[in-house]
């Protein structure tokens, strides 16, 4: 299916309130304001905890006063949970009493909202908290050769919801970063890092400065793609200049001040989050620009841009040229709206028929190309014949539809190009049409029709 807009991450929100009316009103306004939100409502802390054992949420709001356990008790339980202990919790109360102010934040309350301001303001507050916390819990590659310092600092960062991978040398850190850069699809969640936090002066052949230089020059990671925070004992302008020249985003000095460290880390996580959003947006926009909006298959631009690389990676492949027989008659007799719908159904059929590793594109009008990797002409004939026979049974809009197919391959072709393969497949297609349509012909580079 084609996506016509950038899909935002679904926000999973839990509303805990003893009033059924309040739960209903908040849920209704939230669903209207945040159409992509998944919302669960609970009437008690006990009911909420049942859900929280099974599902993970991005944000929880709770009344202070609840039957049984109250809102602060619920927050205490949430902070004990391995799955939910980082989830923002908003306590909703009409009166910020002394207990809430005294015990709330030690219980792990993220923020509180004055209920007297109204439900619409509460929903705006929830939206704001969701945006502020989205993507800011991240994974840090921490490089520190002092084990005592590392243990203290790692515990501090983990307390604030950060996931830490600690290594003692720049060499080990660089290997992990190379792996995550070169093989991102093969990695587990704990092997993908959002930022690097390194001591500038490390024991061993590589210093923290060397690691920084390697990240920027060997791995070609920009400051946005891989933010780096440096820690150093030297707080002087010469050292600062050296740190930034090596490629750091920011630095802090020893001894570590908790508030300063967390503020710097969160600032860099926001940089990485914005980079990820822009990259995803660019990827989605490219997908839209290279997908045929009518049929849902890739378009000719995609074939011309990606086809040469596809051929280079797959030295043995087949190219099929598929044409809908007598499609002009459908447009003339049934009208162009029916014709367009037939094209849409055929495009959807082609996407379903071929697996993802096969490149299907709308070449022009009623003509499609198919690039099949690891396939010679004999295997291509089998696939093409199955396609032709199944297409004859499709009957889109109740119409009898047949296709003609031309097939060629790159076997025994030295330096086969996209242009030569298209030309050979087109010649085979032309032969199929001359012979009466609804058939498959092949064309080898020897220029002999088979």
Residue 103: is its pLDDT beyond 90? no
Question: What's the whole-number average pLDDT of the chain?
Answer: 86
Region 361-366: what's the mean pLDDT? 95
Three state DSSP letters for 251-288: EEECCCCHHHHHHHHHHHHHHHHHHHHHHHHHHHHHHH
Region 47-65: what's the mean pLDDT? 89
Residue 450: is its pLDDT beyond 50? no
Element spanning 359, H or E: strand 359-364
Taking the C-alpha atoms of 367, 372, 377 and 382 in order, what is their torsion angle to the nearest 10 degrees? -80
Q: How confident is the model at residue 8 (pLDDT cuts 50, 70, 90)?
A: very low
User: CB burial class (10 A; 0-12, 13-18, 19+) of residue 32?
Assistant: exposed
> In this predicted structure, what is the pLDDT of residue 297?
95
- How do residues 152-164 score in pLDDT, each as one tens digit? 999 989 888 789 9
Crossing angle for the helix pair 20-33 and 119-133, to the nearest 10 degrees:
60
CA angle 382, 383, 387 (to 5 degrees): 115
> What token pair was written down for 122?
């509460």
User: CB burial class (10 A; 0-12, 13-18, 19+) of residue 78?
Assistant: buried
What residue has token string 């609840």? 66
> In this predicted structure, what is the pLDDT of residue 83?
76
What residue has token string 């307390």? 159
Residue 173 and residue 171: Cα distance in Å, rounded?
Answer: 5
Residue 111: is its pLDDT beyond 80? no
Residue 171 and residue 329: Cα distance in Å, rounded?
Answer: 68
SS3 at position 48: helix
More reliable by pLDDT, 74 or 6: 74
Residue 405: is its pLDDT beyond 50? yes
Distances 332 to 157, 171, 323, 367 between C-alpha atoms, Å: 69, 69, 18, 18
> In this predicted structure, what is the pLDDT of residue 447?
44
Count of helix runs (H) and strand runs (E) in the chain = 15, 15
> In this predicted structure, what is the pLDDT of residue 105?
61
Check if the beta carbon of residue 157 is closer than 8 Å to that of residue 164. Answer: yes
More reliable by pLDDT, 190 or 277: 277
Alpha helices in 297-417 (DSSP H): 300-313, 327-334, 336-353, 377-392
Least confident segment among 75-84, 229-238, 303-312? 229-238
- How do residues 12-30 score in pLDDT, each as one tens digit? 899 999 999 999 998 888 8
Residue 195 and residue 140: Cα distance in Å, rounded?
Answer: 5
Residue 263: is its pLDDT beyond 90? no
Residue 445: is its pLDDT beyond 50? yes
Region 278-286: what's the mean pLDDT? 78
Least confident segment among 84-88, 392-396, 409-413? 84-88
Sequence-distant (6+) residues with CB within 8 A of 361 are 292, 297, 298, 299, 300, 302, 303, 368, 369, 370
Residue 57 and residue 367: Cα distance in Å, rounded?
Answer: 47
Residue 69: is its pLDDT beyond 50? yes
Residue 34 and residue 134: Cα distance in Å, rounded?
Answer: 14
The reported pTM is 0.57
Q: How confident is the model at residue 134 (pLDDT cuts 50, 70, 90)?
A: low
Residue 147: is its pLDDT beyond 60? yes
Region 214-233: what's the mean pLDDT? 92
Region 68-77: what's the mean pLDDT? 88
410 alpha-carbon distance from chain centroid: 34
Check if the beta carbon of residue 310 is closer than 8 Å to that of residue 359. Answer: yes
Least confident segment among 181-185, 314-318, 391-395? 181-185
- How do residues 320-334 score in pLDDT, each as one tens digit? 999 999 999 999 999
Residue 283 and residue 53: Cα distance in Å, rounded?
Answer: 35
SS3 at position 363: strand
Check if the beta carbon of residue 228 is closer than 8 Å to that of residue 238. Answer: no
Percent of the chain with pLDDT over 70: 89
> What token pair was written down for 350?
């082609």
Within 10 A of 331 (CB to CB), how many other CB atoms are there? 16
Residue 58's DSSP bridge partners are: none
Residue 2: is its pLDDT beyond 50? no
- How do residues 197-207 score in pLDDT, each as one tens digit? 999 989 888 99
Q: Which domains does the chain have, with CATH numbers?
A: 12-133 (3.40.50.2300), 139-286 (3.40.50.2300), 300-442 (3.30.70.270)
Element spanning 114, H or E: strand 111-114
Q: How confident is the model at residue 386 (pLDDT cuts 50, 70, 90)?
A: very high
> In this predicted structure, what is the pLDDT of residue 6?
33
Three state DSSP letters for 121-188: HHHHHHHHHHHHHCCCCCEEEEECCCHHHHHHHHHHHHHCCCEEEEECCHHHHHHHHHHHHHCHHHCC
Check if the beta carbon of residue 170 is closer than 8 Å to that of residue 198. Answer: yes
Region 47-51: what's the mean pLDDT? 91
> In this predicted structure, what is the pLDDT of residue 327?
94
Residue 97: is its pLDDT beyond 60? no
DSSP character string of 408-424: EE-TT-TT--HHHHHHH
> In this predicted structure, what is the pLDDT of residue 133?
64
């Amino acid at each position: 299916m084609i996506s016509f807009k950038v899909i935002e991450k679904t926000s999973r929100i839990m509303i805990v309130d003893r009033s059924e009316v309040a739960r209903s009103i908040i849920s209704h306004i939230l669903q209207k304001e945040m159409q992509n939100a998944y919302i669960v409502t609970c009437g008690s802390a006990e009911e909420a905890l049942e859900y929280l054992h099974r599902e993970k949420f991005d944000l929880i709001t709770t009344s202070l006063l609840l039957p049984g356990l109250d809102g602060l008790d619920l927050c205490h339980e949430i902070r004990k949970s391995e799955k939910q202990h980082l989830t923002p919790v908003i306590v909703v109360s009409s009166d910020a009493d002394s207990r809430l102010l005294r015990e709330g934040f030690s219980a792990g309350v993220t923020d509180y909202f004055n209920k007297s301001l109204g439900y619409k303001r509460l929903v705006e507050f929830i939206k704001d908290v969701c945006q502020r916390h989205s993507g800011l819990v991240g994974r840090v590659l921490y490089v520190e050769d002092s084990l005592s310092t590392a243990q203290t600092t790692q515990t501090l960062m983990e307390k604030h919801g950060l996931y830490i991978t600690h290594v003692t040398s720049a060499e080990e850190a660089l290997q992990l970063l190379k792996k995550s850069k070169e093989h991102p699809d093969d990695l587990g969640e704990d092997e993908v890092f959002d930022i690097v936090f390194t001591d500038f002066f490390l024991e061993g052949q590589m210093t923290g400065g060397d690691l920084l230089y390697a990240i920027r020059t060997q791995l070609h990671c920009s400051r946005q793609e891989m933010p780096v925070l440096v820690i150093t004992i030297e707080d002087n302008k010469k050292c600062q200049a050296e740190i930034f020249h090596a490629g750091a985003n920011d630095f802090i000095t020893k001894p570590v001040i908790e508030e300063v460290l967390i503020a710097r880390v969160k600032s860099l996580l926001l940089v990485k989050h914005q980079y990820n959003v822009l990259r995803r947006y660019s990827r989605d926009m490219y997908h839209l620009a290279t997908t045929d909006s009518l049929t849902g298959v890739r378009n000719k631009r995609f074939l011309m841009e990606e086809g040469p690389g596809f051929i280079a990676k797959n030295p043995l492949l087949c190219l099929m040229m598929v044409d809908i027989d007598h499609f002009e008659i459908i447009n003339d007799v049934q009208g162009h709206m029916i014709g367009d719908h037939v094209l849409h159904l055929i495009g959807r059929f082609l996407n379903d028929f071929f697996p993802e590793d096969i490149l299907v594109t709308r070449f022009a009008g009623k003509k499609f190309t198919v690039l099949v990797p690891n396939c010679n002409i004999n295997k291509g004939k089998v696939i093409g014949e199955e396609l032709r026979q199944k297409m004859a049974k499709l009957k889109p809009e109740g119409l009898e539809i047949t296709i003609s197919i031309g097939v060629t391959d790159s076997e025994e072709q030295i330096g086969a190009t996209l242009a030569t393969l298209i030309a050979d497949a087109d010649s085979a297609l032309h032969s199929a049409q001359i012979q009466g349509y609804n058939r498959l012909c092949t064309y080898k580079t020897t220029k002999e029709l088979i």
